[in-house]
Amino acid sequence: MNERTTSSEPVLLSGGNPQIAKGYGDAPVQAYIAAMPGWKRAVGEMLDTLIVKAVPGVQKAVKWNTPFYSVDDKTWFLGFHCLTKYVKVAFPRGASLEPLPPGTSKQTQVRYLDIYEDKPFDEAQFTAWVEQASQLPGDKL
């Protein structure tokens, strides 16, 4: 079910994930973050800031209504999107990170970090994962 309050606001897909057109660069990622509902917007801003700080020159894109981050604009080491009760960060090569991010996947290499409004977030650990992930071979998407 799609929700829209005015014609100028982006559509929110199931779970509140913003529907943002595919695009490369900072602008579509910032449009996605601006469209994140409620408390999730601050999470998106924080994630983007931490990623940019940890990986100077990081490349950005929005594909499949998800912001992705890359060091070479061809392979991607991290993405995130909104779900109903949390923001899900995906590390395509997360099984190679130390320590392992807590969320498992049916795909053996993928690991997740779910960020909830009312649970602590470890910025230092997240930054360490971002730094490690950016040095691994990314995934072509």
Q: What is the pLDDT of residues 56-104, one digit of tens each?
A: 999 999 999 999 999 987 889 999 999 999 999 999 999 999 999 999 9
Give the C-alpha distances (Å, rounded to integers) separating 2 from 32, 49, 81, 84.
16, 29, 16, 13
Average pLDDT, the chain: 92
Strand, helix or coil for residue 82: strand
Instruction: Identify whether 40 is part of a domain.
Output: yes
Structural domain count of the chain: 1
Structural domain for 125, as ranges: 14-134
Instruction: Identify whether 34 is part of a domain.
Output: yes
65 contacts 20 by C-beta, under 8 angstroms:
yes
Instruction: Identify whether 28 is part of a domain.
Output: yes
CATH number for 86:
3.90.1150.200
Instruction: Identify whether 1 is part of a domain.
Output: no
Angle between helices 123-134 and 40-54 (to 10 degrees): 50
92 contacts 132 by C-beta, under 8 angstroms:
no
pTM for the model stands at 0.90
Residue 64, token pair as written in the block: 């499949």
- Which DSSP string do the residues of 1-36 spell out, in sequence order? --B-SSTTSPPB-GGG-B----EESHHHHHHHHHHS
Instruction: Identify whether 5 is part of a domain.
Output: no
